[in-house]
Amino acid sequence: MNQNLAVVALGSNLGDSQQIVLNAMTRLENFSNEPLLKSSLWQTSPVDCPPDSPKFVNAVVALVPKPGETPESLLQKLQALEKEFGRAPKQILNEPRPLDLDLIAFGQETRRTENVILPHPRAHLRKFVLQPLTEIAPGFVLAGRGKTVLELLAELTSSDETVVRVEERT
């Protein structure tokens, strides 16, 4: 397993979420030195969102960062892409949005700054991140966790989080 991958979680719960996530995956190919590893699309229940939030379409990609890329520079590109897809400045925590891109990991780097926390502080607790990630990189180990994402997924006990594979459109 290539432990130097950058892992990005994608989510959408406003608009044509399935198409938005697929289009965002296509755009993320520009950020990688090799073809992306792409999960299936998953419909998931909103977690820690305002009441009556719509379900999400989620996916995960893993990319090989280009030479000179840093977690900070990649995060800036992800945030710019969110804006291109219509994401407005946050008004309410975890409010519905057309596109959410979270930098889950950047190889085995760790960060704890105002702008970047790596690995993502809740990724190991989120089925909507771990389930798609196990499709493309089951042996990946989040920095500091000491277990593969497959092992982390097996240990999750949250029963209120639903994650169902989406049948792709033809």
Mean pLDDT of the region 32-43: 96
Out of 16, 27, 48, 87, which one is annotated catalytic?
87
Domains, the chain, ordered by start? 6-165 (3.30.70.560)
List the catalytic residue out of 27, 48, 100, 160.
100
126 is catalytic: no
Please write the tens of the pLDDT for every residue from 134-168.
999 999 999 999 999 999 999 997 667 889 999 87
Give the active site residue among 16, 48, 52, 97. Answer: 97
Catalytic residue among 102, 122, 126, 145: 102
pLDDT score for 169 = 60
Give the pLDDT confidence of 90-142 residue by residue, as tens digits: 888 888 999 999 999 999 999 999 999 999 999 999 999 999 999 999 999 99
Which amino acid makes up residue 44?
A: T
How far apart are alpha carbons 159 and 72 in whole angstroms? Answer: 34
Q: Flag whether the pTM goes above 0.85.
A: yes
Indicate if 87 belongs to the active site.
yes
Clarify whether 102 is annotated catalytic: yes
CA distance 63 to 86: 23
Burial of 159 by CB count in 10 Å (0-12 exposed, 13-18 middle, 19+ buried)? exposed
